[in-house]
Amino acid sequence: MVEHITAMLALIGVLSLVCQWLGWKLRLPAILPLLLCGLLLGPGLGILDPDAVFGDLLFPIISLGVAVILFEGALTLNVKEIRDHGRMVTHLVSFGSVITWGCIAPAVHYILGFDWSIALLFGALVVVTGPTVIVPMLRTVQPNTKLSSILRWEGIIIDPIGALLAVLVYEYIAVTADPTSHVIHALGLTLIIGLGLGSLSGYIIGVALRRNWFPHYLTNAAVLTTMLGIFVGSNIIQEEAGLLTVTVMGLWLANMRGVDITEILAFKETLTVLLISTLFILLAARLDSNAMLDLGWEGLAVLFVVMFIARPLSIWLCGIGTNLTTNDKWFLSWVAPRGIVAAAISSLFAIKLEALSFKGASSIVPLVFLIIIGTVVIQSLTAGRWAQFLGVKQGSPQGMLIFGATQFSRELAKILQDKDIGVLLADTNWDNIRQARMANLPVYFGNPASEHAETYMDLSGIGRVLVLSPYRQLNPLVSFHFQDLLGQKNVFGLTNTDSSSARHQLSEAYLQRLGLFGDNISYAKIATIMAKGGVLKVTNLTESFTIDDFKKRYGETAIPLLYITRTSKVRVISLEHNQALPTDIELISLLPAAAQANANAEIINTTSCNVEA
């Protein structure tokens, strides 16, 4: 028996990793291969029976997993940032949630005959979309920047809001289902503990982080274990209050001044693979295939309401007063896949409500999974063609992600931004990021190749990556990551100053993508030029002032970087760029002090010649 449990744990761990890899490789939401894997292992082949393997430990595992998901989701919700993402996003996460909930709950009640309380809970569960399912879909579909930004931020912000709504509905149902409790007293106590203890614990942890009470290597572990302890303690004081407590705790931390939670959010990467992936395989394996089939046409009718009534109605009502076109609204009406929060919380609530002998509780999970699988599969397969048909698909993206927000990168980004070319600066150095923000440049603080960046870094309109950082260990990782994402020909890096030793450590595939801005142009060389008074300059090349005239004026020390055509296409100059520069372009170049002196001398000579003539 022990060997069997060990084998199942190892199998789940390996398969969770494989499913995450498949999702990344196929650019699909990872939840889809995870759920399909669980369905195959459980109802399909009968290899995995989570209840038999884990016994009484299954519920605590799911419960703690859901607590982690809710806490992490709440950490991403900065209330002040909601209004910064446009009126449409604000409407969708507020009025839109209510509209969706108000459409789905009656449909479930009248079509499937669910009790009103269960119908309201189900409606709250499937309000959320979530970044884990939206972001991979957007990479594949590639709608225009405006639509991509709306969908992405809707998923990020509505995740904790929808979760909080579902928790509040469940708390009310659980309290009213207990005949031994006074409803108002029990619900009031739950809200007091959830809001009070959640706020207090969030504040205390925030103070601890702000004052560095924990050593750096213990910070993530301290926050995680403290959160789980608060979760369990809340449930001991008042049954089922823990979920509300950890959600409020995360919200408090996310909105507390002077508290840096970046590394805590990054810690989610490990949890996603080790905990959440495992959790979803277990949840899918517990599904009763007969229960899902028993939903029949009524279940498909609910899916129809979710996709063809609730979502379009929400979009069109929330779109009133915005600058969205008709085609924009039709596209947004089609894209709203459900994901991780709905699956995890529904499974936990179903177990708890079944323990209370609540009628219809056993049907929640199959119906939620039907909605998840239906929306993810159907919309993943059709959203690209729908975007193409509506004409909202993004053309060849000209924007640039620049890794390394140094002085040179900031000045280059400022020029590109002034030319209406999208730009995003990423760096792990806070001082560089701070200076970029002061220059009103879009930034991402952290490793752009991390999972956190995949979810929260806005790559809308970004088509190329320039690796301009001094971080030799991180540069290859960033290059390979974006070669997979954007294509090998769209990622450029500076030549390594010590190429002979680097060749023994780095692959040829990476070294072939070096040579940005030409041969022997390294980070050290650019930094030295900038330190000695180098400047970036935009020069119009025309029939009367060609690249030869440019070289004559500025000499051989001038370094052409990239150019912009009259059709706003950006071309990066590198070793592979072996063609002569065309005319009728705007050339961006780096001029060392010697090149500037050469230009001044040439101008003086030209002026003297004109005077003599």
How is residue 273 annotated by DSSP?
A: I
Q: Above pLDDT 70, what percent of the chain?
A: 88
Contact predicate 272/451, CB 8 Å = yes
Looking at residue 183, its pLDDT comes to 57
Say which range, 91-100, 171-180, 227-236, 389-398, has the weakest mean pLDDT: 171-180
Identify any residues that bridge with 426 across adjacent strands, giving them in sequence order. 403, 444
**pLDDT tens by residue, 338-393:** 877 777 778 778 877 877 777 777 888 888 888 988 888 898 889 888 998 998 88
Q: Above pLDDT 90, what percent of the chain?
A: 19
Looking at residue 177, its pLDDT comes to 63
Alpha carbon dihedral 585, 589, 593, 597, in 10-degree steps, equals -10
- The C-alpha R_g of the chain, in whole angstroms, comes to 28
Distances, alpha carbon 142 to alpha carbons 337, 379, 429, in Å: 16, 14, 30
Angle, helices 58-75/340-355, rounded to nearest 10 degrees? 140
Looking at residue 193, its pLDDT comes to 87
Looking at residue 330, its pLDDT comes to 94
- Mean pLDDT to the nearest integer, 439-465: 84
Residue 132 dihedral angles phi and psi, to the nearest 5°? -70, -20
**Please, what is the average pLDDT of the chain?**
82
Distances, alpha carbon 608 to alpha carbons 3, 597, 600, 612, 613, in Å: 92, 16, 12, 6, 8
Distances, alpha carbon 104 to alpha carbons 98, 101, 168, 366, in Å: 10, 5, 17, 16
How is residue 466 annotated by DSSP?
A: E
pLDDT band of 333, cuts 50, 70, 90: very high
Distances, alpha carbon 211 to alpha carbons 204, 206, 253, 255, 428, in Å: 11, 9, 14, 17, 21
Say which range, 363-367, 428-432, 486-490, 507-511, has the weakest mean pLDDT: 507-511
How is residue 428 annotated by DSSP?
A: S
Looking at residue 84, its pLDDT comes to 57
Looking at residue 266, its pLDDT comes to 67
- Mean pLDDT to the nearest integer, 112-122: 89
- Mean pLDDT to the nearest integer, 461-466: 88
pLDDT band of 608, cuts 50, 70, 90: very low
Is the model more confident about 218 or about 266? 218
Task: Choose among 416, 419, 436: nearest CA to 427.
Answer: 436
Residues 6+ apart with CB under 8 A from 176: 117, 183
- Mean pLDDT to the nearest integer, 507-532: 79
pLDDT band of 111, cuts 50, 70, 90: very high
What is the rounded end-to-end Cα distance, in angstroms, of the chain? 102
Distances, alpha carbon 117 to alpha carbons 34, 124, 163, 231, 360, in Å: 30, 11, 17, 25, 10
Is the model more confident about 242 or about 289? 242
Whether the pTM exceeds 0.85: the reply is no
Tell whether the model's pLDDT for residue 499 goes beyond 70: no
Tell whether the model's pLDDT for residue 596 goes beyond 90: no
Looking at residue 300, its pLDDT comes to 93
pLDDT band of 311, cuts 50, 70, 90: very high
- Mean pLDDT to the nearest integer, 521-532: 90
Looking at residue 613, its pLDDT comes to 41
Is the model more confident about 290 or about 181? 290
Is the model more confident about 576 or about 349? 349
Looking at residue 179, its pLDDT comes to 53
Contact predicate 128/336, CB 8 Å = no
Looking at residue 268, its pLDDT comes to 63
In 10 A of CB 176, how many CB atoms? 13
Contact predicate 375/496, CB 8 Å = no
- Mean pLDDT to the nearest integer, 61-70: 80
Looking at residue 273, its pLDDT comes to 67
558: helix, strand or coil: coil
Looking at residue 357, its pLDDT comes to 74
Task: Choose among 520, 436, 516, 533: nearest CA to 475.
Answer: 516
pLDDT band of 612, cuts 50, 70, 90: very low
- Mean pLDDT to the nearest integer, 435-442: 92
Looking at residue 63, its pLDDT comes to 80
pLDDT band of 424, cuts 50, 70, 90: very high
pLDDT band of 89, cuts 50, 70, 90: confident
- What value, to the nearest 5°, has the Cα angle with vertex 215 and ends 213 and 216? 120
Is the model more confident about 108 or about 611? 108
Looking at residue 182, its pLDDT comes to 54
pLDDT band of 79, cuts 50, 70, 90: low
pLDDT band of 545, cuts 50, 70, 90: confident
CA distance 218 to 238: 30
Looking at residue 23, its pLDDT comes to 80
Looking at residue 504, its pLDDT comes to 46
- Mean pLDDT to the nearest integer, 43-51: 83
pLDDT band of 425, cuts 50, 70, 90: very high
Tell whether the model's pLDDT for residue 78 goes beyond 90: no
Looking at residue 398, its pLDDT comes to 81
Looking at residue 511, its pLDDT comes to 60
Looking at residue 204, its pLDDT comes to 93
